[in-house]
Chain A
């Protein structure tokens, strides 16, 4: 090639999308190599919201870590709290009263609705449907009011506790919650009327970001992002926690593995969540909401409180071996417990040395795993599809960067 021709040759345009960009859902940064409008290469960079949650956890007792988990996925803080509590209860062998289990399930499902509302709002806004954003935020407000009624906080709630929940719910909450779940399905229909049959919405979402079931599993996708590809994996069904084993519900699945099917999955989850809450409210038992033997803040650096007789919990991958007499030196044991948060499988992995603080805490954040699949989804598509793909994997960078 002559030097003149070489000067005329085209080259890719590298643009930096984020960390300050209106559509990257926080501080995600993507470096895109573009050939015109086509994405040749997409590289996600994370870490702009890193706060060292895992390391901070090592210096706090188990109950003191709880408020940190609110700040992981701040859109669905209640679900993180519950995930953490379930994990620590398995580790410490703390039992949960039945009433608390049902309250937590109600709260988890309300959070799922609130989270999917934010997802729908931002996803639609990114694709240009501005009105859906404001319509759905109206319903999220009602859920936040329910939180406020139950515990006084709206966003970072810290309502569940290790061994139950902080305070009981009253009749006023139950009435308000019933009223909400009675009217909410009609609002879901309203959102669907706006975009479900909209030609522009269909051409923007159908056949975009296709990922087969096998690939989705290999990439470690979970939650509705995985179920959109037709894989019936849901921690609530596979390893039930709280009251999910006493509740009847379905897992919506997609067939075409694209952005539209993941959208449909989440829209169906709205209805399933309403169904779960309704059953929980009907079956809500009486009794305590917090195990009186649950550990307090003062568990400090001393030996971890352990109930004397009960058998080790069943779901633990490596069950703690109960040595009759504690030998000298730290006793290490580890445990991974996963829960189904709205974004996918949120796992807490603990290494315990027998004291009241975790020796090592790791958070398996669905947003982090999902962010890694972006290059697979975006490469070969157009710039506008990048936006649709960021929306469809439903990431929150607070959780991704931890």
Chain B
């Protein structure tokens, strides 16, 4: 075979019913985005209730039973608020368009990362073989939104907040990427479905046990990456009032807020898929209870989806728990932890994983 540049063949053949395929993908996207938005709304409720009970108070309880309609009321309120866009100062070269686009960019980056998250084995929007890399790349893109917001706000507080945020995101991205290398080495793949299937080969069905060091580094960097306590410096209320979105109001503020919560959900999904065994139950359970093998496929799929959601919510609970417990780090301490503790730990984890994989 002598490949000729004029004899090019597509790497894939377009299916005959391309319209149907596109319609299915669009439908999946719609379901995923709608589900994500609903989850975000109830994540806020969940957070307020949990932190409320941890802090000897009740949390939202006025709108609807147990305050269940509170997120919807909040959404309506934010939607009808005035959208204030600061006028750039005299001689300023800052563009209003940057101010307007910044929250969209953050939301776009976080929402798109949901595309590669498989909820169970058969439900995903895109099953690409670099899923993990794609998520890491998109979380870097949202940094641009934050920098743009801080710069275009023409406010010193927002500017300081965005500087802090970009420095934080860039340094913790390194630690986060390195912490996932161990998982990639064990699974031999960057595809989430392969990673989850690879975890099913052990009796516990989780990489959490061999990769506990990697998980620890990942967890800490995920907190920093999503600007959550104790690393919520960019929006440290007591220092910078609200950080980079101090000048935003109404729906544009809500977009940042949505972006932050979707980023939390995505990070939890990644943690669950890479370390907690994804949608799979521990294989040992199938041995102990053989009846589980005989269930019809539809029931199995349902169980998988429920298991996945439960794991994601347990992971989100960790976020809330930490927020209710810990004070906030100082900027220099945060950077020091990132560079002198987390990155060396992640490197040690890589070396250990490599040695173990090579010799055993």
Cα–Cα distance between A134 and B241 once the two chains are bound (Å): 20
Q: Which of A89-97, A177-185, A327-335, A380-388 contacts B (4 or more CB under 8 A)?
A: A380-388
Q: Are A382 and B57 in contact (CB under 8 A)?
A: no
Residue of A nearest to B331 (CB): A37
Q: Which of B56, B232, B239 contacts A383 (CB 8 A)?
A: B239
Q: Are A125 and B156 in contact (CB under 8 A)?
A: no
Cα–Cα distance between A243 and B332 once the two chains are bound (Å): 49
A261 CB–B CB distance under 8 Å: no
Cα–Cα distance between A129 and B325 once the two chains are bound (Å): 7
Q: How large is the interface on B (under 10, 10 to 19, 20 to 34, 35 or more residues)?
A: 20 to 34
A269 CB–B CB distance under 8 Å: no
Q: Are B56 and A200 in contact (CB under 8 A)?
A: no
Q: Are B327 and A200 in contact (CB under 8 A)?
A: yes
Chain B residues whose C-beta falls within 8 Å of the C-beta of A34 in the assembled complex: 160
Q: Which of B54, B230, B330 contacts A384 (CB 8 A)?
A: B330
B328 CB–A CB distance under 8 Å: yes
Chain B residues whose C-beta falls within 8 Å of the C-beta of A126 in the assembled complex: 238
Q: Are B56 and A134 in contact (CB under 8 A)?
A: yes
Q: Which of B241, B327, B332, B333 contacts A127 (CB 8 A)?
A: B327
B324 CB–A CB distance under 8 Å: yes
Per-residue interface assignment for chain B, residues 312 to 340, with 1 indicating a CB less than 8 Å from any chain A CB and 0 otherwise: 00000000000111111111110000000
A286 CB–B CB distance under 8 Å: no
Of the listed residues B57, B323, B330, the one surrounded by the most CB atoms of chain A closer than 10 A to its CB is: B330
Residue of A nearest to B229 (CB): A128
Chain A residues whose C-beta falls within 8 Å of the C-beta of B157 in the assembled complex: 15
Cα–Cα distance between A126 and B159 once the two chains are bound (Å): 21
B236 CB–A CB distance under 8 Å: yes
Q: Are A15 and B56 in contact (CB under 8 A)?
A: no
Nearest CB on B from A139, distance (A): 11
Cα–Cα distance between A203 and B332 once the two chains are bound (Å): 11
Q: Are A387 and B55 in contact (CB under 8 A)?
A: no
Q: Are A130 and B330 in contact (CB under 8 A)?
A: no
B83 CB–A CB distance under 8 Å: no
Q: Are B326 and A198 in contact (CB under 8 A)?
A: yes
Nearest CB on A from B207, distance (A): 27
Residue of A nearest to B156 (CB): A15
Please judge, given known A-B contacts A15-B156, A15-B157, A200-B230, whether A387 and B238 are in contact too, CB under 8 Å.
yes
Chain B residues whose C-beta falls within 8 Å of the C-beta of A15 in the assembled complex: 156-157, 160
Which residues of chain A from 118 to 138 have a CB within 8 Å of any chain B CB?
A: 124-131, 134-135, 138
Cα–Cα distance between A195 and B54 once the two chains are bound (Å): 15
Which residues of chain B from 232 to 253 have a CB within 8 Å of any chain A CB?
A: 232-233, 236-241
Majority SS at the chain B contact face: helix
A13 CB–B CB distance under 8 Å: yes
Q: Are B324 and A131 in contact (CB under 8 A)?
A: yes
Q: Are B232 and A128 in contact (CB under 8 A)?
A: yes
Chain A residues whose C-beta falls within 8 Å of the C-beta of B56 in the assembled complex: 134-135, 138
A22 CB–B CB distance under 8 Å: yes
Q: How large is the interface on A (under 10, 10 to 19, 20 to 34, 35 or more residues)?
A: 20 to 34
A204 CB–B CB distance under 8 Å: yes
Q: Are B332 and A129 in contact (CB under 8 A)?
A: no
A51 CB–B CB distance under 8 Å: no
Cα–Cα distance between A127 and B239 once the two chains are bound (Å): 9
Nearest CB on B from A37, distance (A): 5
Chain A residues whose C-beta falls within 8 Å of the C-beta of B160 in the assembled complex: 13, 15, 34, 37, 383
Q: Are A128 and B326 in contact (CB under 8 A)?
A: yes
A173 CB–B CB distance under 8 Å: no
Nearest CB on A from B95, distance (A): 21
Chain A residues whose C-beta falls within 8 Å of the C-beta of B164 in the assembled complex: 37
Residue of A nearest to B57 (CB): A134
Q: Are A23 and B238 in contact (CB under 8 A)?
A: yes
Q: Which of B55, B241, B326, B328 contacts A21 (CB 8 A)?
A: B241
Cα–Cα distance between A194 and B332 once the two chains are bound (Å): 23
Please judge, given known A-B contacts A131-B55, A387-B238, whether A382 and B329 are in contact too, CB under 8 Å.
no
Please judge, given known A-B contacts A128-B229, A134-B55, whether A200 and B331 are in contact too, CB under 8 Å.
no
Chain B residues whose C-beta falls within 8 Å of the C-beta of A385 in the assembled complex: 330
Nearest CB on A from B339, distance (A): 16
Residue of A nearest to B157 (CB): A15
Chain B residues whose C-beta falls within 8 Å of the C-beta of A13 in the assembled complex: 156, 159-160
Of the listed residues B239, B241, B324, B333, the one surrounded by the most CB atoms of chain A closer than 10 A to its CB is: B239
Which residues of chain A from 125 to 160 have a CB within 8 Å of any chain B CB?
A: 125-131, 134-135, 138
Cα–Cα distance between A200 and B333 once the two chains are bound (Å): 9
Chain B residues whose C-beta falls within 8 Å of the C-beta of A21 in the assembled complex: 241
Chain A residues whose C-beta falls within 8 Å of the C-beta of B159 in the assembled complex: 13
Q: Are A128 and B230 in contact (CB under 8 A)?
A: yes
Please judge, given known A-B contacts A128-B327, A134-B57, whether A387 and B230 are in contact too, CB under 8 Å.
no
Q: Are A200 and B241 in contact (CB under 8 A)?
A: no
Q: Are B156 and A204 in contact (CB under 8 A)?
A: no
Cα–Cα distance between A24 and B343 once the two chains are bound (Å): 36
A201 CB–B CB distance under 8 Å: yes
Q: Are A382 and B330 in contact (CB under 8 A)?
A: yes
Cα–Cα distance between A128 and B238 once the two chains are bound (Å): 8
Q: Are A203 and B333 in contact (CB under 8 A)?
A: yes
Q: Are A22 and B55 in contact (CB under 8 A)?
A: no
Which residues of chain B from 192 to 238 have a CB within 8 Å of any chain A CB?
A: 229-230, 232-233, 236-238
Please judge, given known A-B contacts A21-B241, A22-B241, whether A131 and B330 are in contact too, CB under 8 Å.
no
Cα–Cα distance between A37 and B238 once the two chains are bound (Å): 15
Q: Are A125 and B238 in contact (CB under 8 A)?
A: yes
Q: Are B55 and A130 in contact (CB under 8 A)?
A: yes
Q: Which of A130, A204, A383 contacts B324 (CB 8 A)?
A: A130
Q: Are B237 and A22 in contact (CB under 8 A)?
A: yes
- Which 8 interchain pairs have the tightest Cβ spacing? A128-B328, A23-B238, A134-B55, A128-B327, A129-B327, A384-B330, A126-B238, A127-B327
Given A127-B327, A129-B326, A383-B160: 8 more A-B contacts, CB < 8 Å:
A13-B159, A23-B237, A37-B164, A128-B229, A128-B238, A128-B327, A131-B54, A387-B238
Q: List, sorted by A's number, 6 A–B pairs whose CB atoms are closer than 8 Å.
A: A22-B238, A23-B237, A23-B239, A37-B160, A130-B51, A200-B329
A positions within 8 Å CB-CB of B: 13-15, 21-23, 34, 37, 124-131, 134-135, 138, 194-195, 198, 200-201, 203-204, 382-387
